[in-house]
Structure 1
């Protein structure tokens, strides 16, 4: 089944690439000979201002490049990264040691490959995970303050380290970039890479004062706003433009089920604009059919929303049931693919979202501000008794009460035997600060998870140093890519919090590699 899906994706990709490569003026590869004059010159250019772009930019400057610029097409910085949950999966940190959590990179690698159905590039996975602790400390040194560690679906132990929100990572990095003399520009969109006669990337064509059309997102190539200019890049270009989860037409090229009716967590600017340009430039893409739906978001609010923090903890410390049957239907801490597929299968086109329930003790594991936000918009609801909750959601009462009793017995068994797995779905149960949490103490809280398009596992093929491959297997000189724009790290499905790790580790590596090559060329 996976091989068939992959073959279909490759056919779509080849067809799309062929269409884009047709001589149209819009998508023709841009040669240096066609540049009338360079408007500005830089040591390096970073395209995109999220986790990967910010890490790449700071890494460039850490490694001695002073004249660099990071450009962002939107009128705000950070893209999906800034308002994501911002949890970074790392094995073997001081925070884990503080909380008595035993973990190691080998276990995280095993979890990642299992979730990816071993379709990941193992070398990319190993490099990413072994670099996690060092990257974590680098972030702390640059002003990021991690608050807690929790367990995301598919991970064997709690290893998702949160700073509170994605912007609590991007902003400190951007503040450091500015403090070091780096330049960050908004409303500048990259239209094309510029190649010299040797096939080396020597710069980019951009439009300054670009005005993203929030009312008519559609095909971004129809947006002609902004003034065209040309930026020279002596050392190279790092692409960190993110995924295309908000681009309905482009994502359907690879997964036709992801129609407009399927909501997304992505910000409006997460389009396939850059990817289409790269396809026309003969850049190699992989794993494009693997587009993840995320089930920690609420069916009762748009985009990423506010309830996700509570929902994430409720999967770890609560119970999820089908209201019609009153029964559990999946391991609550399964990975995102398994969880989303199970919800999708029983959801009846949005008519029957599951009910996720946690009691007062479980809800205390959530930061009070995060909890209050979800509560204030109605995505989380409070009930003084189970009877009220059952009545509100029309839950099949007797089967549910019997199910809840069994669930609490499973938690009690896990407290006595750490190796215990429940007989219904093989779930194991983790303590929170040494306490095992049942669902029994009022008041009770509930939410209705609704999977939304979240992450594109596929993208540009790179090596360990983020250098970019062409379709013939050769590397494109002076071109680097990192973050969700790239493929290979996650395989069939991405584990929660591994994307933040991916973006930061490989963004940092991209900047370091570009700087190393450029410094060697100029004898620095």
Structure 2
């Protein structure tokens, strides 16, 4: 077995240099010792992986398997705020919101600053209504309220009632299992297996793996007759790898990701000759709180309240950004909030309690000391050592902007705030970005096929979807747009495999 693993690693290195030699046992004239065989093999149990599993079964796949390396299913997908941007849904129409896939694509292209892939964005956006209905059919339940997220020209972020990605993952996982999909956790992907023609025909899996113990478990080879889908997510928790791409993302910058987001699948595909795209574009979440670990409760609180609230610099007592600009714009500005010694001095998000109480996240952030309540501007200013006079003036100015329907400071969309003024009592949360999403990954085409660097052509039998892919969003991803993209390309990958 050791010899076979060494051939896998050797083949990966050769493929990375552009050679056409296949990987694994077939390369040395051996037939892999197959442990099991499936039509579709899926690596990763997040949005992309589970959506692919359900779609593949709907299309008639007899045997589908999902391998998850961690002890629980869902990965990073369970840790988000449970939001998904869909354009043209029945819920939008019910609420009188005019929107369409083309408008959603244009918003994302603008945020991508010229580097986003229109073809990939369009493939995802146009599939949106189908994806939305599939989640409903699987049992996801949405709130009646649709959220305005940064950088959008229409209100389109649909949110499940759980306010977390679990509201998608649990119904998808349950549905997949009911349809006959086999699911295995603590099964870590190690390598791709290719035949003598270079087609991916299976994977090497470390069965019984325990995170952090890289040699744990035993190695098996699993055959895929229709294809392998890599849905292994990003590399946000691999600090050395992410810092190599962007030197500013040191350990000083926290991370919202699950600890398993270490980029294993990405690194293996790159070794197998896949084309890397935009690895240095790593997005930080501007809604994060430095007063809790991981994604936390503050993210949901900030996301709900940004449209009708203000973010101020503690040194000046003044706003410094459009609170619903795109994520990169806000995160970059927040990271600039420093004290006289250059140390982080997190900004303050000041929220009117009268509106904040309408969202269940308020109780959580107060309970866990992620936010604080103040009965007056004076009490707020004293607690955070903010200059009182300019802060009072800023609040008065903001309330005038609400009356006038225009923000002369930063051009914020005032309709998103629905005429809500900033009045006491206030709920205040500190803001400091955390690494959240890797825009970079392997290149795919609109059929979710992985593209080889040496040829510019698809690597036969290999598909990828979700955060492990690159080039979709460009420089900046709009909030609520990863969930539908992951789901959509999981579905697209399943369709591609079943059509092949």
TM-score (norm 1): 0.88
Unaligned runs of 5+ in 1: 1-16, 23-27, 214-221, 415-420, 518-524
Structure-1 separation of matches of 2:258 and 2:82: 15
For 1:446, the equivalent position in structure 2 comes to 428
User: Could you say what secondary structure the match of 1:109 adopts?
Assistant: helix
Task: Tell me the alpha carbon deviations over residues 96-147 of structure 1, each in whole angstroms, 9 at most, x when there is no partner.
Answer: 2222222222221111001000211111111111111221112112211111
Match of 2:148 among 144, 151, 159: 151
In structure 2, C-alpha distance between the alignment counterparts of 1:190 and 1:75, rounded to whole Å: 14
**Aligned residue for 1:115?**
111
Query: Using a 3 Å threshold, how does the CA distance of structure 1 residues 413 and 461 change in structure 2: closer, same or farther?
Result: same
Distance 1:388 1:95 in 2: 41
Q: In the alignment, which residue of structure 2 is the partner of 1:364?
A: 357
Task: Report the CA distance between 1:175 and its aligned residue.
Answer: 0.4
Query: Retained in 1: the 8 A contact 2:335–2:344?
Result: no
Q: Give 1:34 shift.
A: 4.8
1:198 paired to 2:197: yes
Match of 1:405 among 381, 389, 396: 396
Equivalent residue in structure 1 for 2:413, among 409, 428, 448: 428
Which structure 2 residue ranges, 5 or more long, are not aligned?
Answer: 1-11
Change in CA separation of 1:350 and 1:311 when aligned onto 2, cut-off 3 Å: farther
Contact 1:431–1:437 (CA under 8 A) maintained in structure 2: no
Residue 466 (structure 1) aligns with: 448
Shift of 1:431: 4.7
> Does the residue aligned with 2:431 lie in a helix, a strand or coil?
coil
For residue 253 of structure 2, give the secondary structure of its aligned residue in structure 1.
Answer: coil
Where 1:70 maps in the other structure, the secondary structure is: strand
Question: d(CA) in 1 for partners of 2:14 and 2:414?
Answer: 50
The reply to whether residue 485 of structure 1 matches residue 468 of structure 2 is yes
Q: Does 1:170 align with 2:156?
A: no
Q: Which of 475, 482, 493 is equivalent to 1:499?
A: 482
Instruction: Tell me the equivalent position of 1:287.
Output: 278
Which residue of the partner structure matches residue 276 of structure 1? 267
For the structure 1 residues 310 and 185, does the alpha-carbon distance in structure 2 shift closer, same or farther, using more than 3 Å as the test?
A: same
Q: Is the 8 A contact 1:319 1:357 kept in 2?
A: yes
- Are the equivalent residues in 1 in contact too, given 2:288–2:431 (CA < 8 A)? yes
Report the CA distance shift for 1:298/1:134 in structure 2 as closer, same or farther (over 3 A).
Answer: same
Contact between 1:157 and 1:430, CA under 8 Å: does it hold in 2? Answer: no
Q: Which sits farther off after the overlay, 476-485 or 88-97? A: 88-97
SS at structure 2 position matched to 1:152: coil
Query: Structure 1: how far apart are the matches of 2:94 and 2:431?
Result: 32
Q: How does 1:188-267 map to 2 (within 5 A)?
A: 188-213=187-212, 223-267=214-258
State the Cα deviation string for residues 271-311 of structure 1 (Å, max 9, x = none). 02222211111111111110001111111111111111111
Distance change in 2, residues 1:386/1:20 (3 Å): farther
Give me the whole-angstrom Cα distance separating, in 1, the residues matched to 2:150 and 2:206. 41
Describe the superposition over 1:476-498 as per-residue Cα deviations: whole angstroms up to 9, x where unpaired: 11111000000121001100011
In 2: Cα distance, 1:365 partner to 1:487 partner: 37
Which residue number corresponds to residue 331 of structure 2?
Answer: 340
The separation in 1 between residues aligned to 2:245 and 2:463, in whole angstroms, is 24
Q: Is the 8 A contact 1:71 1:189 kept in 2?
A: yes
The residue number in structure 1 matching 2:492 is 509
**Structure 1: distance between partners of 2:268 and 2:23:** 9
| TM-score normalized by the length of structure 2 | 0.92
Pick the aligned partner of 1:330 from 321, 324, 328: 321
8 Å CA contact retained: 1:81, 1:166: yes
In the alignment, the residues of structure 2 paired with residue 481 and residue 143 of structure 1 have an alpha-carbon distance, to the nearest angstrom, of: 25
Residue aligning to 1:218 = none
Instruction: Count how many residue pairs are aligned between Structure 1 and Structure 2.
Output: 477
Cα–Cα, structure 1 residues 76 and 267, in superposed 2: closer, same or farther, change >3 Å?
A: same
The residue aligned with 2:9 is: none
What does 1:46-85 align with in structure 2 at a 5 Å threshold?
Answer: 46-85=42-81
Name the counterpart of 2:24: 30
Cα distance in 2 for partners of 1:444, 1:283 equals: 51
Q: Output the CA distance in 1 between the equivalents of 2:97 and 2:38.
A: 45
CA displacement at 1:68 relative to structure 2: 1.0
Among 278, 297, 314, which residue is 2:288 paired with? 297
Asked if structure 1 preserves the Cα contact closer than 8 Å seen for 2:236 and 2:437, the reply is yes
Kept in 1: contact 2:312–2:347 (CA 8 A): yes
CA contact (8 A) 1:150 1:158 kept: yes
